[in-house]
Chains A and B, each alone.
Chain A
Amino acid sequence: MSTAPPEHDDDDALSWGDADDATHVDAAHNPVAVRERAGRDTDAPETSGALIGFGVFGGLSLLYTVAWLLTASTAYVAGVDAVLSGFVDVLRFLSIVAPALWFAVVLWVARGRRTRTRLLWMLLGAVVLFPWPFLMTRSFG
């Protein structure tokens, strides 16, 4: 007497099992697998620390703007063609508005991000946009 071999579906080898199986773990509902980085609720009020940090960087951006404004008449290039001269004038204007623009854009674009991330971007702006021409063209003391 011969018995027929059990039929195997080749696709079974590619399956992790039935969802009704007690041992089945669905990755979509696995709390470890789907843990997301905690975002910030954009409607939630800012913390005191965040407000102080934003106030410091906001004030710094205003000081930078004044410093860049005071050096607006600095001659950066001499004896150049009209295109480069116009380009430098555009950069001259942008460097004056850059500190406030950076501050506002970080607040707007990164509003859903953590406070630490926003403060780090503002710190980067404070470093990059430091008004060196103001220090270089003036003597103190």
Chain B
Amino acid sequence: MTALDRDAGRTSGSAGALVGRVVVWLVFALLFAYMTVQAAGNLVSVSHRVDEFNAFLGNDPTAGSLRRSVPWLWLVLDIAIAPVAFFVALWVTRRARVSVTLAVFLVAFAAAGALWLDLQLFVPRLLDF
């Protein structure tokens, strides 16, 4: 094998690794994007339900303690989870092999999913109506 052949093999190998990493990035970008879209939909629906509930109570002064406020902090955090997890995984794997990239993105997606499930359970409990 000549040096030229070795260089060509190394180039095709690194190109293959790059393609593999790009595929991992794209697949997980779609999954994280879906999670973000669902979180954004959650924000819209929860704020709408809170508004409807408060409108139902009307201006009755005795119903003041029943009024609810939109938990913006938790809803925005819900939206931020997936992008933050994606970019942290991207930063960690910026010079990593395909196998490491896949493992890190899987862990990032699992962790983001666990946090997302936490909030799916926590936000309705805050509202309690």
- B96 beta carbon closer than 8 Å to chain A: yes
How far is it, in angstroms, between the C-alpha of A74 and the C-alpha of B125 when the chains are bound? 14
Contact status B118-A132, CB under 8 Å? yes
| A109 engages B110 (CB within 8 Å) | no
Stretch touching chain A among B1-9, B13-21, B69-77, B100-108: B100-108
Secondary structure at chain B's binding surface: helix, strand, loop or mixed?
helix
Nearest Cβ distance between residue B32 and chain A, in whole angstroms? 12
Q: Which of A91-136 contact B (CB under 8 A)?
A: 91-92, 94-95, 97-98, 101-102, 105, 108-109, 125, 128-129, 132-133, 136
Number of chain A residues close to chain B: CB under 8 A: 26
Known A90-B113, A101-B110; 9 more pairs at CB < 8 Å: A76-B117, A87-B35, A91-B113, A91-B117, A95-B114, A97-B110, A101-B107, A128-B111, A137-B121
Point out residues on B near A: beta carbons under 8 Å.
Answer: 34-35, 38, 92, 96, 100, 103-104, 106-107, 109-111, 113-118, 120-122, 125
What are 5 inter-chain pairs, A to B, with CB distance below 8 A?
A74-B121, A98-B110, A98-B114, A105-B107, A109-B92
